[in-house]
């Protein structure tokens, strides 16, 4: 019997396995798929580098030759305008490189899972966890799992849900709450022949604003030849405009002049994939004998590539509390509560940043270009969101929005989206 059962072998589960093995805590990772498996979320933020360093994975990232990501570029819907920001403008404490990575997630996830295995995690793929076992007091004691049609029970002192957007434990406990604001829908595919240009931004993540509600397109280089392109809009917009995938995708990508130029010679090399129900949270992330990490606890809209970073840091923070739990033989919800507070605080900063961004959309470039706010925006884009009591640029964004809305006939008022920036009720979502 392992000390800890980890449900899921994605970035959160694999990273947690590394940290626990480093601490001498035995763990088993149960993964339902057989890696490599396809997965969306192909771009990183630079704060992830700290975690890679701590678990000895940075040298693997370098060895594998993933595309280096030095910054981000935004494109206005018309007039071929663009605005770029480079990560190297603001050096981060404890990080010596001025870039992060774009990755093929199927390759990245497999490498990280194998890395956890090399550290001592026992990894079993093709195992479907049916549910978390609870005693009469609601304390997690293990899992019921299945290989093919054969079910069996496994027990451990602690169960960690790292099941990603399957949100196994959140659904089982009925504590999953859909976000009241975001209802985005994405259609994406890989392309060859896309013109990335030849300037310093060719390996940036590129975001193209679209003239539809909450609409944007990502451009992420996967290899020297392959580029991921995804169209994201409000789900209602998708329903209204959709005819067939090719027609819809072309219609959307033709609404941004820069994107038309970029994709003029591009050809799709795989099938379209879709993603929906982007944003949600759980009423709580922890309980007696269990906790949730990564997407199993919280998922915010992926506009700023925050998903993998939140997964990695949730594993790091969870590992700290799990070590204390084993040192004191205390696996109560109270023991794990500081982990929840830390993770929720950082995720809420991401959430507020993204919410204000969607309200501003093209007007967001005002803050990119502002000498007063540029570095603060960059800090957020780098993933510096945890243990922050104040984030002045978010207050500045809110005041800017309020000024535009309150000014009669303001030129920019038509450019604000209809997204609400009023406080959201406390239902586990920021």
* C-alpha neighbours within 13 Å on the C-beta side of residue 29: 34
CA distances from 309 to 123, 255, 294, 383 (A): 22, 31, 9, 7
Residue 427's pLDDT is what?
Answer: 42
CA dihedral 259, 260, 262, 268 (to 10 degrees): 100
pLDDT score, position 424: 58
Task: Give 286's strand partners.
Answer: 291
Sequential pLDDT tens for the chain (430 residues): 789 999 999 999 999 999 999 999 999 999 999 999 887 878 999 999 999 999 999 999 999 999 999 999 999 877 667 899 999 998 898 899 999 999 999 999 999 999 999 999 999 999 999 999 999 999 999 999 999 989 999 999 999 999 999 999 999 999 999 888 888 889 999 999 999 987 889 999 999 999 887 889 999 999 999 999 999 998 888 999 888 999 999 999 999 999 999 999 999 999 999 987 668 999 999 999 999 999 999 998 878 888 899 999 999 999 999 999 999 999 999 999 999 999 999 999 999 999 999 898 878 888 999 999 999 999 999 999 998 878 999 999 999 999 998 998 888 888 788 887 876 544 444 3
What was the pLDDT predicted at 305? 86
Tally Cβ neighbours within 10 Å of residue 272.
15
pLDDT at residue number 80: 67
Helix 11-22 to helix 105-119 angle (10° resolution) is: 20
Q: With contact defined as beta carbons under 8 Å apart, do 286 and 293 qualify?
A: no
Pairing of the two strands 100-102 and 67-69: antiparallel
Directed axis angle between helix 392-406 and helix 374-381, to 10°?
120
What pTM value is reported for the model?
Answer: 0.93
Domains and CATH numbers, the chain: 4-66+103-179+281-345 (3.50.50.60), 184-275 (3.30.9.100)
């Amino acid at each position: 019997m392992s000390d800890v059962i980890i449900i899921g072998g994605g970035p959160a589960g694999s990273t947690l396995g590394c940290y626990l093995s480093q601490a001498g805590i035995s763990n088993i990772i149960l993964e339902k798929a057989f890696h490599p498996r396809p997965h969306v979320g192909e771009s990183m933020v630079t704060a992830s580098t700290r975690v890679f360093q701590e678990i000895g994975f940075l040298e693997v990232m370098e060895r594998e030759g993933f595309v280096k990501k030095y910054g981000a570029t935004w494109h206005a819907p018309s007039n071929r305008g663009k605005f770029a920001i480079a990560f190297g403008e603001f050096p981060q404490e404890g990080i010596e490189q001025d870039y992060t990575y774009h990755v093929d997630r199927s390759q990245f996830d497999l490498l990280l899972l194998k890395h956890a295995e090399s550290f001592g995690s026992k990894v079993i793929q093709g195992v479907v966890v049916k549910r978390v076992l609870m005693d009469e007091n609601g304390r997690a004691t293990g899992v019921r799992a299945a290989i093919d049609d054969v079910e069996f029970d496994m027990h451990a002192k602690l169960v960690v849900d790292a099941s990603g957007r399957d949100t196994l434990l959140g659904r089982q406990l009925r504590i999953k709450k859909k976000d009241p604001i975001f209802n985005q829908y994405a259609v994406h595919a890989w392309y060859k022949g896309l013109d990335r240009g030849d300037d310093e931004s060719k390996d940036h993540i590129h975001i193209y604003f679209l003239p539809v509600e909450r609409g944007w397109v990502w451009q992420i280089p996967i290899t020297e030849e392959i580029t991921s392109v995804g169209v994201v809009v409000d789900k209602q917009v998708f329903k209204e405009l959709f005819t067939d995938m090719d027609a819809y995708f072309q219609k959307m990508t033709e609404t941004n002049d820069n994107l038309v130029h970029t994709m003029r010679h591009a050809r799709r090399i795989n099938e379209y994939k879709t993603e929906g129900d982007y944003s949600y949270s759980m009423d709580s992330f922890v309980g007696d004998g269990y906790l949730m990490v990564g997407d199993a606890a919280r998922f915010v809209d992926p506009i700023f590539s925050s998903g993998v970073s939140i997964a990695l840091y949730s594993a790091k923070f969870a590992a700290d509390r799990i070590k204390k739990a084993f040192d004191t033989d205390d696996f109560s919800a109270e023991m794990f509560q500081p982990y929840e507070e830390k993770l929720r605080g950082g995720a809420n900063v991401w959430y507020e940043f993204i919410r204000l961004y969607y309200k501003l959309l093209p007007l967001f470039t005002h803050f990119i270009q502002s000498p007063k706010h540029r570095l603060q925006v960059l800090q957020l884009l780098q993933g510096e969101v945890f243990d922050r009591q104040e984030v002045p640029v978010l207050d500045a964004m809110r005041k800017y929005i309020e000024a535009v809305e309150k000014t009669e006939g303001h030129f920019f008022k038509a450019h604000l989206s209809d997204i609400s920036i009023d406080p959201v009720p406390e239902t586990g979502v920021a």
